[in-house]
Amino acid sequence: MALISDSYESLSSLLKSLDSSCHHMGLTINYKTKLLAVLPGADAHSPSPISLHPDCDSIEVVPSFQYLGSYLSNNCSMDVEISTRITKASQLHGSLNRILWHQRKIKSSTKLNIFVSVVLSTLLYGLETAVLLEPQIHRLQSFVKRSLRSILGVSLWDGKRDTSIRKIAHLQRISTMLTQRRLRLLGHILRMDECRLPRKVLVCASPQGRRSVGGQRMRWNDLVLRDLRNCNLDGVWRILAEDRNEWRNRIWAATQEVNFKKEEQEKYRKDERKRRCEARQMTSEFALHCSFDGCRFTAVNHAGLVNHQRQKHGQSLTGRCQYCHQTFHQQGLHTHERFCCQRTSTPPI
C-alpha cells in the first residue's frame, strides 16, 4: 500500500487513522514501512519519523525506497534506477552466455528475439513512466550496444558502426523505444474513465506557486508533448488514441520515421568527423614532409623533422623569424613564429 499526501501533518493523520482501522481488524503496520519526502522545498525542514505506538519502532525517513521493483528517490533522480536496471539486465545477459549467446548452432535471429523479449524488457521495465536525461539514455544505449556486439560476434576491430549493428539486429534506438512506449501509455491513460487517478493527473492543471531559480525539471507531460511534436501527432492524438489499433499503427509508423532521421544524422556526424580527421592528417603529413629533393621522410612532429634535417642533410641549427627578424634555434623557431604572427601585424618576408 502506498499512502500519498501533500503535507507532513496530513500524512501523519492518515497513518494514524489507518493504524486505528487495522487495529480493529487485528492487523498491524509492518516494520518495513518507510517515509519518503519527494522534492521538499529549500526552506522545508527534514521530516521526523512518525511514531504510532510507544512500544513500536517509528516509521523511518529514507532518501530512496524500492517500490514494485523500481527505486523512488526524494529528488526524483533516476540514476539509482538506471544503475539497477543495467545491473539486472547485465546479470541476465551473462547467465545466457554459455547456453545461448556462444552457441554457433543457434541462429542469430533466434538469439535476437530472446534478447528483446528477456534482456531488453528487463532493461526498460517501467521506464516509460520516467523522465530520463540524455546521459542516462546514453548509458542504456551503451549497454545495448555491447550486448548486440557480443551476440552477433562483432568486435570493435571490425570497424562496424553502431548504426550498422542496429540495422543488422533490426532494432531501434533506445530513445525511440522509450518514445514509443510513452505514447502507447498515453493512449491507455486517455481511454480510461475520467474518475481514474491516472486520467485526472494527465489532464489536471499545473500547481500554482513560485518557480525555482534556474532551469525547471521536465515533467512527464512535457516529455510526452515533445514526443508528440517530434512524431507530428500533437494536433490529432486525442482523436487517434480513442481507437487502440489505429493509435498503435500510427505510433509505429511515426517512430520508425523519427528513428530513421536520427540514424541518418548520426551517420552524417560520423562521416563529417572522419572527413575532418583525414583532412588534418593529410595536412599534417604534408607539413611534416622533408623538403629536400629525393627525400621521402615524414616526421611525426616538428621536432622530429628538425632533427632529421640537421642529422641527414646538415641543415643549420639557427634560423631567422619571418615576422620579427630575430635569430632562434631551429627547434624553437617554429613555436616562436606561431605566437609571433599573432602579436605583430608586420607581413612576413
Distance CA 152, CA 108 (A): 7
pTM, full prediction: 0.72
Cell 599573432 belongs to residue: 342
Name every residue whose Cβ is closer than 8 Å to that of residue 236 and which is 6 or more positions away in sequence: none
Percent of the chain's residues with pLDDT above 90? 35
Q: Which parts of the chain fold into alpha helices (H)?
A: 8-24, 79-95, 108-114, 121-123, 134-152, 162-169, 174-190, 197-203, 220-230, 237-240, 244-287, 302-312, 330-343
Name every residue whose Cβ is closer than 8 Å to that of residue 156 and which is 6 or more positions away in sequence: 149
Banded model confidence at residue 184, pLDDT cuts 50, 70, 90:
very high
Distance CA 62, CA 270 (A): 45
Q: Is 133 helix (H, G, I), strand (E, B) or coil?
A: coil
pLDDT tens sequence across 231-258: 998 888 889 999 999 999 999 999 999 9
Domain ranges of the chain: 8-73, 79-171, 178-202+219-280, 288-343
- pLDDT over 90 (residue 93): yes
Cross-strand partners of 64: 73
